[in-house]
Amino acid sequence: MPSARLAQTGVICAVATLLTACAARVGTPSQVAPVASVASLPAPVAPVESAPSVPQVDPVFELIAVSTVHFETGERELRLGHLQTARTEFNRALEVLLESPYGGRTEPQLREHFDRLVERISAYEVTALAQGDGFEEQRSESATIDELLALSTFEAPSPTPETAQTVAADLESSAHDIDIPLNARVLSFVQLFTGRLKSFLEEGLSRGIRYLPMIQDIFRAEGLPLDLAYVPLVESAFKPTALSRARARGIWQFMRGTALENGLRHDWYIDERADPEKATRAAARYLKTLRDAFDGDWHLALASYNAGPGRIQRAIKRSGRTDFWKLAASSRYLPRETRDYVPLILAAIVIARNPAQYGLEAAPLEPPRFETVTLPTAVDLRRIAEWIETPIQTIQELNPELRRWTTPVRATEYDLKVPEGTAELVRAQLAQTDPDELAPLNWHVVKKGETLLSIAKKLKVSRADLAEANYLSARARLAAGQRLMIPRAPAVLLASRPETPAPPAAERATADVASASERAPRVAPPAPASRTYRVRRGDTLSSIARLHRTTVASLKSWNRLSTNAIQVGQRLRILTTSATATD
């Protein structure tokens, strides 16, 4: 850009010289001197080019631009869940103003920019501290089974002769390890899956390619039909975080009770229903139990996977029929959902075994590549994401069983999956970080006479969450001096997924200051409430920050403090929300 401006200046000068010369020619004609006098004329003087003007940079404008770069970098880091880096960038956005020769409060433009940043940064910090202490439950996706069974409420389309011929030829040439009858119900769902639900099934198959080798290995070792590996295609479309309206979760859509019966862990921190491998091992155990309960009849076993074995056994007893298709012929014995469930599964198996034959294209999704790190204590997942410069969502996707942004609090060890090539970096950071700084915890020491209910009311949390987070029953009696971990509300702000990935660190470091100066900070979080605290004897900024669940840096920003020194009786401004207000 500077070279372009110089060239432009040169062009302007040349044009000006040319115009001057032309004006001399067309002006008042001068008398012609005799030839003899020509020698006495002075030599022509070369025109002097004017020096190109250097644009003047307003130092105040430049300071605002640099400050804005840091603020916007902090916003990006916050959206990625990198809380510490975001806080550093926010603090730097203010420091470049405070450390300038002008100070942050002298020039009107700087003062306006400084005040606006303080309000916005404070609102971000208050929201993050009030809601983002690592206890947000991971977001869930809708379960495929809900959508499919809702669609089946309307009659599935009648199969065309071409579909019937294709399926018949397929069944004759392909060996299946469970019986698939060539009946109207199965054919109608094949027609549905190859028609208006074609893209629906393709998406599920693409995702399933990640997990099918693992599922088939486990089923092969357990002596189960490999066709059953496609049950998650209908149940969840192979989405680990799928959650149904009935609160079933994971690729196998386990209800909580059934999951616990089959060895899966479920508590405030962990839900192993969302762990594809552990859930598959539990599914293998459960399917074998159902197979044995119905003497190896997989149609009845699949029906009981949907409705529960007790319901199927009662239907058999009432009807006197032991054949699923005879039970399903009448609405008297089985609900519509279960009558549709078995042919849905069988149709999905037929197509998934030979998708190309049915016109489906399933582009395989790249399986995640990861390494495992054994954590010695509870760790905030955001710290790990920050260490390896990856979005928090990447860590969550590799560890879908973690319900919160933290590993279990009381676990002595936890095996965490991290992106391939980052395990050594995580181990190095763990070795040099104080364990007290690793977990996003707030603790409360129980006083005499306190109960779970009184503490929950005081700290504005749910008694059920407080009990579950500390592995206690809701009616547990507390002892004075007992330490309780205090959970927080879900982190709506920090959980938001950025629409585009943040640029790499090197690119962030060389951000274009000039272009940033043209953009004011755009995100305006909710304005926090303000309260006043009077400093008491023995108070420090650190103790006041802990009392109000904030940081020393925030207190200094809110109160324009350049040092940590405070005096008894001094009034401090505290920005807060209802979630962080103390009694």
Catalogue the active-site residues.
Answer: 235
Which tokens go with 288?
Answer: 């074998």
**101-105 contacts: CB < 8 A, separation 24 or more?**
102/59, 102/60, 102/63, 105/560
Residue 384's nearest CA partner among 450, 339, 449, 429 is 429
Residue 80's nearest CA partner among 403, 425, 516, 386 is 386
User: By the 8 A CB rule, do 396 and 402 touch?
Assistant: yes
Q: Measure the CA–CA gap between 583 and 581, rounded to whole angstroms.
A: 7
Residue 59's nearest CA partner among 110, 14, 105 is 110
Q: Which three-class secondary structure state does DSSP give residue 345?
A: helix
Q: Measure the CA–CA gap between 116 and 166, rounded to whole angstroms.
A: 68
456: left (phi over 0), alpha (psi -120 to 50) or beta: alpha
Beta strands 483-485 and 529-534 are: unpaired
Which tokens go with 237?
Answer: 């479309």
The single-letter DSSP state of residue 174 is S
Amino acid 72 reads E
Question: What is the distance of C-alpha 395 from the center of its chain?
Answer: 9
How far, in Å, are 72, 94, 183, 559 from residue 562 at the CA level? Answer: 24, 12, 80, 9
Q: Measure the CA–CA gap between 335 and 402, rounded to whole angstroms.
A: 34
Residue 253's nearest CA partner among 368, 341, 348 is 341
How far, in Å, are 176, 190, 294 from residue 168 at the CA level? Answer: 13, 12, 28
